[in-house]
């Protein structure tokens, strides 16, 4: 069993860097520059006059970290010699020299393509995204109750994505929340390849525990999964009596075994119920997942199908793994 590498290879970084990845919530950004890491690459995010810019977090002068600087009058200021940069990454001011002196063209920031959507900042390191952003339409419904959170897991993005899209673990890893240990058998299912990823619909047994007797009341819900490469998952759950809930998750690969997970949820019922209960229930489910997934070894997926054993319920995971070769990614993922 090979250990997961500490860093992405240049080939893998280039291949994964050709997709959109979320790196932060817009609401997390303040007046100061903010540092994030994507695919081992440190980036600086800063806001200026209502716009947002992203660049490699390294000053082109002497390599200082720009994210430890500040923003003044819409310019990003390096904390070492005070060079100023505008939203396009152009150096506009070198305080130590006469303003009439031409500024070297080498003092240009290495800017990165970015876009804001669903309250998230998405970046594409290559500048030419291979696929569009996922369509997460329920987040555009002002009449739905919604919330967004994030979590950091010590696993690869691929391990997280496979966990999110795996159903066979519900009865076991989620027996403490909604999993129906009494009904672990899954229905046969068909995985549909789409231009952006994978889709499937199925019916899933869920359990609710009676508060007094702890007896399980098993019900069924319709699940529709819609996945967009590289790591954006969406799940729509239609509960027979309650209504519909959407869970969106985008895994951002910080490093080969370090992932920031952005979770955004919406529901068309329970608007009057406290948001805190809904969040707490999802947090409990996420924690059940994290406890298992962070213990998986290796921490990243080896894409070779012979690397692990498989069960019938792994059809989604095998389809997910298959397409990576066409994107130039051979793992670990």
Q: For binding to ligand FES (CB under 6 A), which residues are involved?
A: 59, 61-62, 64, 78, 80-81, 83
Exposure pattern of 79-99 as b/e (b: 16+ CB <10 Å)? Answer: eeeebbbebebebeebeeeee
Residue 217, CA distances (Å) to 205, 288, 321 in order: 10, 20, 35
User: Which tokens go with 202?
Assistant: 């199925």
Residue 83 binding partner per list ligand FES, Fe ion, none, with a CB distance cut-off of 5 to 8 Å that depends on partner kind: ligand FES
Instruction: Compute the least distance from the CB of residue 185 to Fe ion, in Å.
Output: 18
* Minimum distance, C-beta of residue 302 to Fe ion, in the bound complex (Å): 22
> Between 66 and 266, whose beta carbon lies closer to ligand FES?
66
CB 92 within 8 A of CB 85: yes
Pairwise CA distance, residues 160 & 79, whole Å: 37
Q: Whole-number minimum distance, CB 320 to ligand FES, in Å?
A: 42
Q: Least CB distance from residue 95 to ligand FES, whole Å?
A: 9
13 phi and psi angles, rounded to 5 deg: -65, -40
289 binds, among ligand FES, Fe ion, none (CB under 5 to 8 A by kind): Fe ion
CB of 67 to ligand FES, least distance (A): 12
Interaction partner, residue 209 (Fe ion, ligand FES, none; CB < 5-8 Å by kind): none
Does residue 162 bind Fe ion (CB under 5 A)? no
By CB under 5 A, is residue 289 in contact with Fe ion?
Answer: yes
Instruction: Please identify, using beta-carbon distances, which residue of 60 and 230 lies nearer to ligand FES.
Output: 60
Neighbouring C-beta atoms of residue 26, cutoff 10 Å = 14
Backbone phi and psi for residue 63, each to the nearest 5 degrees, phi listed first: 80, 15
Task: Point out which residues bind Fe ion (CB under 5 A).
Answer: 289
């Amino acid at each position: 069993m090979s250990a997961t590498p500490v860093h992405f290879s240049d080939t893998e970084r280039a291949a994964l860097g050709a997709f959109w990845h979320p790196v932060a919530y817009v609401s997390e950004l303040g007046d100061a520059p903010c540092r994030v890491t994507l695919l081992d690459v440190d980036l600086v995010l800063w806001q200026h006059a209502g716009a947002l810019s992203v660049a490699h977090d390294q000053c082109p002068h002497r390599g200082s970290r720009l994210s430890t600087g500040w923003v003044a009058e819409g310019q990003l200021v390096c904390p070492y010699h005070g060079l100023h940069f505008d939203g396009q990454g152009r150096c506009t001011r070198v305080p130590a020299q006469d303003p009439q002196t031409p500024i070297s063209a080498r003092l240009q920031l290495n800017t990165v393509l970015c876009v804001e959507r669903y309250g998230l900042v998405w970046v594409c390191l290559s500048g030419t995204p291979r696929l569009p952003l996922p369509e997460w339409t329920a987040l555009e419904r002002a009449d739905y109750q919604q919330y967004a959170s994030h979590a950091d897991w010590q696993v690869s993005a691929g391990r997280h994505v496979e966990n999110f899209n795996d159903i066979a673990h519900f009865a076991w890893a989620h027996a403490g929340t909604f999993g129906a240990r009494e009904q672990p058998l899954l229905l046969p299912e068909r995985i549909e390849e789409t231009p952006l990823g994978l889709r499937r619909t199925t019916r899933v047994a869920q359990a609710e525990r009676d508060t007094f007797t702890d007896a399980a009341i098993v019900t069924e819900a319709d699940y529709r999964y819609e996945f967009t490469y590289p790591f954006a998952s969406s799940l729509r759950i239609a509960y027979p009596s309650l209504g519909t809930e959407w869970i969106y998750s985008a895994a951002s690969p910080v490093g080969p075994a370090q992932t920031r997970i952005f979770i955004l949820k919406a529901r068309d019922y329970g608007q009057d119920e406290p948001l805190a209960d809904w969040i707490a229930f999802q947090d409990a489910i996420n924690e059940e997942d994290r406890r298992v997934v962070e213990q998986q070894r290796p921490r990243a997926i080896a894409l070779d199908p012979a690397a692990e054993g498989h069960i019938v319920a792994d059809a989604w995971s095998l389809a997910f793994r298959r397409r990576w070769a066409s994107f130039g990614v051979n793992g670990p993922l």
